[in-house]
Chains A and B, each alone.
Chain A
Amino acid sequence: MTDRELERCLSEAVNRTAPDDLEAILSRCGAQNGSVMEMKERKANQNIIDAAVKEGTSKKKLRPWLAAACAALVLLGVGGGGLMYHQSYAVASVVSLDVNPSIELTVNRGGRVISCNALNEEAAAVLFSMSGGKDLKGTKLDVAVNAIVGALVQAGYMDSISSAILISVEDNDQERAARLQQELVASVDGVLRTQAPGTSVLSQVLTQDANTPALENMTFNSGISAGKAALVRKVMEMNGTIATDSTTAFDKLAALSVEELNDLLEMGETRIPIGKSAAALAAEEYAGTLELNSVTTDVDPELDEFPPHYEVEVKTTWGEFEYMVDAFTGQVLSGQRDLQNTTGPGTQSTPATIITETQAFDAAAEHCGAQYPGLQGYNAMNVVTKLDWDDGRQVYDVDFVISGYQFEYEIDAYTGAVLKWDTDYRSTPTPAAPDSPPSGTGSDTQDVGQDAAKQAALNHAGLTESQVTNWKIEREWDDGRLEYDVEFWCGTTEYDYTIDGHSCSILKHEWDHHSSGHHGGSGTGTSSQDIGADAAKAAALAHAGVSESQTTKMEVERDWDDGRLEYEVEFDVGRTEYEYTIDGVTGSILEYEQDVD
């Protein structure tokens, strides 16, 4: 390729990529007003002008003209000047953004921001760096909205994967409102996909409703936007409090975040939860840390889980502790009581200094060598050591790879003791295998068995075996404790339980509702369109050109990715590993990898 050909190729690529915005530009171009853009004083060989400098001077020239136009407007009331003024300053749309901070923007017909106001204290804090919203005046709406969303992300309001932002557009021109809504959702979704993946964008167009004046009055008192008020109204219609026109119910719901309100609607929950602040208070009271100023909390509402609860992380100077607080009663369901006396500084007879990263790795390597003599002589690769907190204890997470096998250790940062370990290495270790009880533990305790573990999970989920599909049960030892990892699906909900293998108690559970709607999915993905694990497996085998009898280590996992049902199919044929991602509805191959071990 010659230089000229390459340049032509580049030029054509740019011309095809450059957006064609002529209509949008022309809509912003008024009649020529005769303003003069003067040439910069020419230097030798210089044919350029400096627009930034001109911008400054032309503004000065413009001001008296603008003042005259405004004066004329006051005197005449209407007329040519009035029309221009109307186009620039008349409010065409009101856009509100609600997470917990509520922010309202008024926008002119040209799509420029006329005003930006914080409706509550949290919003004022978010807008602080933008001079309380004044900096956004005159900017294009999408630019302003993206700046606000960026600030919300930075302030931590979109940290949780289930966080939600509500965009509401109010406009008498419903067509324009719908267009704005669509543009803003696409733009915010784009920002959040990169900055806060997993979060949701909700949107609505508000109509002028004769029945809403009472609500507007309430809005005024509660410091929330009309958009959030409309969402509260939907919840009140759902839970019946709208009938009694209950101001108390409105106030309680108005104090909740958009994520909480949306969860209530999705779950059809008629009770009103206690809210994040009350949940944090309950957890801190239980933890006995209320009088400590240094303690902070992070609260994540899990109203779509069973039981509906708030996850509260209590952060103390000596560690982070997790609490589960019932969303309606405020009762603490799990977590450590009275932290200062049980875990606080000075309560543990630990050495004063922590060990080094090298010592932590040595402790892990020594343990690994003793457990797996067959691996001795191999070097550990990809060693990653990280100091962390786990239930109030400072620990090192030590990860490394030996002979292609991953090892993960948790080492006490003071004593060097091995607290937890896990590996995908499956050769028989000595003296204690990870798939048999460690000596001294469990020999006198009975294994409850796979069926009992499965039943315990079903009981907890309130389901029967016939209602669920895609079972996956694994028996494993974790830190000397026998556990069953039980996974299954009911419709589009995925359940994941860890059951104690001796007592059958539930050690951990997760409940994940997969919805296909958040990112503009086609609305497909219901279980009736699911091709099933067997068809997915068959598609992968056909692509690889092998039969199932030729394969080993076959694993099929049903998953949701970005609103799409998928199957992950993995198997080995001899020393070749195959990994497929199959579309769960069409059976088409979305991704595949082939690797010779």
Chain B
Amino acid sequence: MLAASGVQTTEDKENARSRELEQLLLQAGKGSRDAFGQLYTRTRGAVYALTLSLLHNAQEAQDTAQDTFVKVWESAPGYRPQGSPMAWLLTIARNLARSRLRQSGRLVGLDEEDWNAIPAADPDVTPEDRQVLQEALARLGEEERQIILLHAVSGLKHREIADLLELPVSTVLSKYHRGLKKLKSLMKGEDHT
């Protein structure tokens, strides 16, 4: 019962968050730069996580995230509420990232060593952040990484992640649990050294 009520609470929170994002998006569509700024602050992490996990390169991920928000601004007037503004926004990011991969002749992201391209200069990025990201980015499988990042950062539901990544829900669920387990053991292994 406790667990069930916990899930209910989380879902309520997610629904409230979605409604807020939806309002911000609608206001941005009417030309409110303030609303757009708030929307950006709340979603930039998720957009960046997705572009980074698709492109494997901090600079390209940053550029694509920028392009995504410009496109969001341009498209906001035509946005119609459909329940998941985050999924709408991330689809734009996904398509721009895929388009960038196509343009550069790459089908997948860069080699593993390029994952070290997490910005080093930012004083807000702690060594712990670097470790957890490094593990998540470099050690997990491609789809495991995308699923876990999307779930953790964007709060998308497994079904929405399945839609976004064009994967069966069962695959998303199994890869999510397997990836999380792997990440935990990697983190533990690091702690022991």
Are A and B co-members of a single complex?
yes
| B92 on the A face (CB < 8 A) | yes
Q: Does A15 contact B (CB under 8 A)?
A: yes
Whether A12 sits at the interface, judged by CB under 8 Å, is yes
Residues of A3-23 whose CB lies within 8 A of B: 3, 6-22
| A19 CA / B70 CA spacing, docked (Å) | 15
Asked whether any CB of chain B lies closer than 8 Å to the CB of A45, the reply is yes
Q: Within 8 Å of chain B (Cβ to Cβ): is A49?
A: yes
Known pairs A9-B132, A18-B45, A18-B48; A25 contacts B160 (CB<8 A): no
Interface pair B45/A1, CB less than 8 Å apart: no
Q: Interface size (A, Cβ < 8 Å)?
A: 48
Tell me, yes or no, whether A161 is within 8 Å of chain B by CB: no
Known pairs A14-B49, A16-B124; A48 contacts B119 (CB<8 A): no
- Write the nearest CB–CB distance from B105 to chain A, whole angstroms: 10
In the assembled complex, B112 has its CB within 8 A of some CB on chain A: no
A137 CB to closest chain B CB, in angstroms? Answer: 13
Given A13-B129, A19-B62, A46-B163: A32 and B95 interface contact (C-beta under 8 Å): no
Q: In the assembled complex, which residues on chain A have CB atoms less than 8 Å from the CB atom of B46?
A: 14
Which residues of A lie under 8 Å from residue B48 when comparing CB positions?
14, 17-19
Tell me which residues across on chain A come within 8 A of B63, comparing CB atoms.
Answer: 140, 143
**Contacts A10-B133, A16-B122 hold; do A50 and B91 have CB atoms under 8 A apart?**
yes
| A29 touches B (CB below 8 Å) | yes
Partner pick for B136 among A10, A15, A22, A36, CB 8 A cutoff? A10
Tell me, rounded to whole Å, the shortest Cβ–Cβ distance linking A197 to chain B: 14
> Would you call B96 an interface residue if the criterion is a C-beta within 8 Å of the partner chain's C-beta atoms?
yes
Say whether B192 faces chain A, with CB atoms less than 8 Å apart: no
On chain B, the residues within 8 Å of A13 by CB distance are 125-126, 128-130, 132-133
- A208-229: CB near B (< 8 Å → 1, else 0) gives 0000000000000000000000
Q: How far is the CA of A357 from the CA of B161 in the complex (A)?
A: 53
A13 to B124, CA, bound (A): 9
CB-based contact B187/A32 at 8 Å: no
A31→B73 CA distance, assembly (Å): 9
| Contacts A38-B78, A50-B91, A50-B95 given; does A6 touch B180 at CB 8 Å | yes
Say whether B84 faces chain A, with CB atoms less than 8 Å apart. Answer: yes
Interface members, chain B 118-150 (any A CB < 8 Å): 118-119, 122, 124-126, 128-130, 132-133, 136, 148-149
10 example contacts (A-B, Cβ-Cβ < 8 A) are as follows: A10-B132, A25-B70, A25-B73, A32-B29, A32-B31, A37-B78, A45-B163, A46-B163, A51-B92, A146-B59
Residues in chain A within 8 A of chain B (CB atoms): 1, 3, 6-22, 24-26, 28-29, 31-39, 45-52, 54-55, 140, 143, 146, 187, 190
